[in-house]
Amino acid sequence: MSASTKSPYQHKRGIHCITTAMANILSGENIDLSEELCFGIGSGLGFTYTRGKSIEQYLVFGRSDDLELNLCEMLGIYAKLSHEPDSDMALEHLMKKKAANEPVIVDLDISKLAYLTEALKWPETSSHGGHKAVFGGYDRKTDEVFLYEYLWLEPQRMKREDFFQAWNSFNGLAPARNLWYEFIFPNSTVPLETAIKKGIQMNVYRMLSPWNKFHGMEGLKAFLRAVPNWPYLFQEEDRRKLAYASYVSLEIGGTGKGAFRKMFSRFLKKAAHSIHDEALREVAKDYLQLATLWSELATLLFEGSEDPNSGIFSGSRENETLTEEIYAKEKQAIHRLFAISENWG
């Protein structure tokens, strides 16, 4: 099918920004994958705890990075990450792709998107790139850009300059910088069973052997050890802000609840059925339990953001018991998954 005869992008709502965008784009190519399968094949399980000199330079996140690139690699799809420093020229590139009915994903700073900050009560301290949306077009007459977002069926409208602020945000922490993703689809993709196994194997490797100490199990361990002690590290207002930002990013900011563990659990159930490996169902139960524990911790973070001496900041020994339990179960679950994936060869 030539570019000129490709069907326009069809949008459906979802749970998470990247998996919604990718599931919809793949559907347009007659590749029917659920959000959960996109998440798992893309090695989406992860953790990031990036620490900086100021409250604005802290990032707590329960997902891995490069999910869209990993997903395409596992499926045998060519994904190209592009960058153009001039915002007007970059927008022209997007318009050409739109005219050819070739969907592209843009990388945005969620704190600069008014409709999302209002919907999620997103904290202004969480200013960084990494949010993804499908470009929906640009109306030169009204000077409006359209974006397909995971929370809405209809595209969101915003003035071009407001879009540029979100698209070309530079704050030193995962800057957006006019980044976008293009896709070239082969005549046939990698078989689903192979893609699932490769995605899980990569995910296990990334969790156990992260590229630096701020990611994977290393970052997770550092966060869980530090968070009950934030009162000793931050002034009252700063720890309240950091607690709320962490609550949003772990629980309500497109995670599917429980720091993405609930979504990963559903993926493992689907994977067990697809590749006929019942051992994955048991690990799915582990991650479902972990999702509950992460939600419990998120509630404590929210309480701490409301009152700097309550919730996670109450000084209760139960807080450390909870974080220790989460780490122990995370370690057990990922090693069980490692053992299963080793049997695949």
Alpha carbons 286 and 283: distance in angstroms, whole number: 5
pLDDT of residue 59: 87
pTM for the model:
0.94
> What is the bridge-based pairing of β-strands 105-108 and 78-83?
unpaired
Alpha carbons 73 and 79: distance in angstroms, whole number: 8
3 state SS of 79: strand
pLDDT in tens, the chain (345 residues): 344 468 899 999 999 999 999 999 999 999 999 999 999 999 999 999 987 777 767 889 999 989 999 999 999 999 999 999 999 999 999 999 999 999 999 999 988 999 998 988 877 667 777 899 999 999 999 999 999 999 999 999 999 999 999 999 876 566 668 999 999 999 999 999 999 999 999 999 999 999 899 999 999 999 999 999 999 988 999 999 999 999 999 999 999 999 999 999 999 999 999 999 999 999 999 999 999 999 999 999 999 999 999 999 999 999 999 999 999 999 999 999 999 999 997
Q: Answer whether 336's CB lies under 8 Å from 329's CB.
A: no
What the chain holds in terms of domains, given with CATH numbers, is 10-184 (3.90.70.10), 192-342 (1.20.120)
For residue 217, the one-letter residue type is M
Backbone φ, ψ for residue 315 (5° rounding)? 85, 5
